Structure formats: structure tokens, C-alpha cells
Amino acid sequence: MKLKLFILAICILITLNSCSDHTYAPALFHQDIAYQPKPASYDTAKSATYISMGLNYYLDPTWTALLASGQFNISRGYVFNKFNLAYGAFGVFGNFDEGAFRPFGAYGARASANLFTTYDRMDFRYLGVEMAYSNEFGDYASYRKSISGLPGYHVDTRTQLFTMGLTSEVIFHNERDKNISNGLRFFVGYTFGDNTLAENYLTHKYFEPDFVATVFPKISYFLKVKNFIGTAEIGQQIFLRAGYSF
């Protein structure tokens, strides 16, 4: 009963927020970082190319609209002595849904690196850095620019984003088969730039802590079975990908 009342209260709050204010953030705000695979120390190949496709579902920062997108990724990963490196590019196509069809697209690049140490059949990537640059285009970006400055509208018109953050990860292979790997990564990062939407509105209006509007976390699960890969990521979204390495 208490759970039902809580869910009802959240729904009412979202409805009231959507009626009283209009808020719009960039399509890839806090969505530009994604897990980049890299070979582990126990892998035979010390470098690999990874290709993947996936679906991303997430709410806007005020929880009033749903964004859904498909994404294509290609990256190159390396393992050296106690050090990993990866870089790659990606493309996104999706829709901002608040009762009207507002498509968007984006392209960008990512890079990541980390230090690691080994324990038995596990690599502990204890300290890493990740970064991403994205450039958005499409109807949703044009719409934000057209309504910026209108009374009752709180808009972040940026189309270019740069995000950087820190990571920590463990990756290990199956006890009987080195071709099966599982990984779990934690990320916390920040999107640079003039975020007037968060500074002037979100942190004073909604029930999220102030730092969540700027610094954001993400947890990623990675699975590799021979040359096939998959990732599941949870933060302010649910992002699922599948692909192949060679």
C-alpha cells in the first residue's frame, strides 16, 4: 500500500512539473559516456576492434519526457603492461517524446584509459579516465533554439558537449574458460560548459540533490563470450548494446 502511494505521489509530481514549467536539455546530456571495451591482461590478443549497436532509453532531467535512441559504436582497445587505452567514434539517432515527434541525431568521439593490477584471473582497473565529445543536430536542437528565452521556458541550447570523468572497474574470466569475461565498471563524471539550465533552474526546483544535476554516476556491466560482446548500463538511463570484436 505504501509503495502504491509513493508511486502515485511521484506521478502527480511529474504531472504538476510538466504543467507549470517547460524544460529542455540537450539530447545527449549525461548520455554521451558509454563503456569502451579493452582487452584484458589474460587475453591472447593485446589489441582489438569493437563494433556494437544498442538502444538507449532515458528521461529528461525533469522526468517529464522520454528520449529513445539507437546508437552505433566502433572503437579500438589496447592492453599494455598495467595500462589500458581505447578510443572510438559513435553515431546516434533518436526521438524526444513529449507528445510530439522531435527527432535528433548526434555524432562524436570517445577515449578512455586506465591503470590496472592483476589478481589471479582478474584485472582490477583501479583508476581510469573517460571522455566524450558529441555534436547534436536535428529538429529537437532547432526547437530548443526557437523557444529559448520565452517566458516559462528553461532551455539549454547547447549542441556540442564535452564530458569527462573517473572510473574504477573489475574484469575477470571464467574459471574454466578464458574466452568468457565479465566486467563491472563504476563511472562518475561532469559535462563541461555553461549549463544554465542546471545552475539557474534544476538545482532550485527539483528533488534531486544539487550535485546530481552536474556530476552524474553510471554503472556498466560487460560480457564477452569469445568474440561476442554485450553491455548493460544504468545511470539516468537504461542502455543495452551487443556487438563483435576482432
Domains (range + CATH), the chain: 2-245 (2.40.128)
Q: Which residues of the chain have pLDDT under 50?
A: 2-3, 5-19, 206-209
DSSP tally for the chain: helices H, then strands E: 4, 12
Q: List the grid coordinates of 185.
A: 565498471
Cα distance between residue 185 and residue 182, in whole Å: 10
Cell 566502433 locates to 74
pLDDT at 5: 47
Closest Cα partner for 75 from 135, 114, 132, 136? 132
Q: Give the single-character DSSP code of 89.
A: E
pLDDT at 10: 42
Spell out the residues 6+ positions from residue 162 whose beta carbon is closer than 8 angstroms to its own. 131, 132, 133, 191, 192, 193
Distances (CA, A) of 119 to 41, 55, 132, 170: 11, 34, 30, 10
Find out whether 47 and 86 touch, Cβ atoms under 8 Å.
no
Cα distance between residue 133 and residue 162, in whole Å: 5
